[in-house]
Structure 1
């Protein structure tokens, strides 16, 4: 007969219960140990009996049995290897492993032409992960935007066209850096902007790719007009109060469809401005909210890869006579680029 105690047990009952529970646990543990020992003995006895049986078999039957065991062992080993391979194929390969398997370095050092921002050259690195993300339609790294500026600057130097357009280094004007200046009441960002504009006094426009809260925008600064224009591909219902870096000139522009295109829109705007629109700006700027076609954005990536020059080569196992188009095709197949 069982009694149910509600509330605290009397002290003597408490002690009895603890001792009983403890002894029961010890007893159950011993029983379990005994069962395990008995099972081990039984298993050992069966194995010994089986060995004796196989030993007493005729030679032919014994050979057949040994051969079948070897086959079963090989099959089991093959099955294990196949399972491991299947698991490896199912899991996405980490970038570092992928790069090592194709002899790709982790990063590429780059140096700009002197005079892009000021008298000095700009030295930085572009990681292989950043390039892979660009080819797989992911957010553009700041180094990729910087390389596109370097490419456009070099293009204008070679073409000897009348170039009214300068560039602002995106690494100097990030949202984080602007916030840091505001908090500590210092003027690093302003000083950098003034230095660039003083060095390029003849330029009428400065293209400033701006990274704020995981989103790329392009700011066209017009120092002679005391104006700036914000090109934001995810503007939505934003007003000038929503922007940190400038106080005037929010502009209608192409609007992106997804959440990854902003960096590619900035590259396309910079390309269009430098090549076609700088001589008629701001009259000839398109007040068009239509999204860019996928082919236009893909063309910017192709241009980026072509101008990356010899640095593309390590991304390819085989490169025919330094043909960068072939390199791009191999990259597309390697990273499954689907624009």
Structure 2
């Protein structure tokens, strides 16, 4: 990541191509990563959605092209399932989640980076067991906004 950003000045960015397959989207899209995004990550200040999307894209490509059992893991787009998106367009997000779970039904796990109340956590859906595992560094008991759509 840092190598990609070398030579860029504050306010500049690079675009990373993401195929629709990575996040079960309708079309390919680009992720914009700024110098500030990487500085925040590398200094330990903040984890940004664009950094997570680039990491998941790289992980997805590795799994797809290498022998790491690409059928075992799928991903949902953190931008699509964020609490902000759920508040602003719940029907569209519910449709996305339903479509994604259907498309990823053969996967062992679906990884869902989730952002709510200024905090990132990882939700891991195990479809065969119909369970959700929550990886949360704050380890608080939470009533997550995404819980209801996942139960539908």
Taking structure 2 as the reference length, the TM-score comes to 0.81
Structure 1 residues 103 and 144: CA distance shift in structure 2, 3 A: closer
Q: Which has the higher helix share?
A: 1
Within 5 A, what are the aligned runs for 1:1-339?
Answer: 103-104=8-9, 106-118=12-24, 120-163=27-70, 164-181=72-89, 186-235=90-139, 238-240=140-142, 242-246=143-147
The structure where strand makes up a greater share of residues is 2
**TM-aligned CA deviation for residue 232 of structure 1:** 0.9
C-alpha distance in structure 1 between counterparts of 2:103 and 2:29, whole Å: 15
CA apart distance, 1:165: 0.7
Number of equivalences: 140
What is the CA deviation profile of residues 87-113 of structure 1, one whole-angstrom value per residue up to 9, with x for unaligned ones?
xxxxxxxxxxxx9xx553611111024
Separation of aligned partners in 1, 2:120 and 2:105: 27
Instruction: Pick 1 or 2: higher relative contact order, CA cutoff 8 A, min separation 6.
Output: 2
Deviation at 1:124, TM superposition (A): 2.0
Greater CA radius of gyration, 1 or 2? 1
Whether the aligned pair in 1 keeps the contact of 2:104 and 2:110 (CA below 8 Å) is no
The change in CA–CA distance for 1:152 and 1:214 in structure 2 (over 3 A counts) is same
Structure 1 residue runs without a partner (length 5+): 1-98, 248-339
- What residue ranges of structure 2 are gaps of 5+ in the alignment? none
| Normalised TM-score (structure 1) | 0.38
Distance 1:121 1:201 in 2: 21
Q: Is the 8 A contact 1:228 1:246 kept in 2?
A: no
Q: What is the CA–CA distance in structure 2 between the aligned matches of 1:115 and 1:107, rounded to whole Å?
A: 24
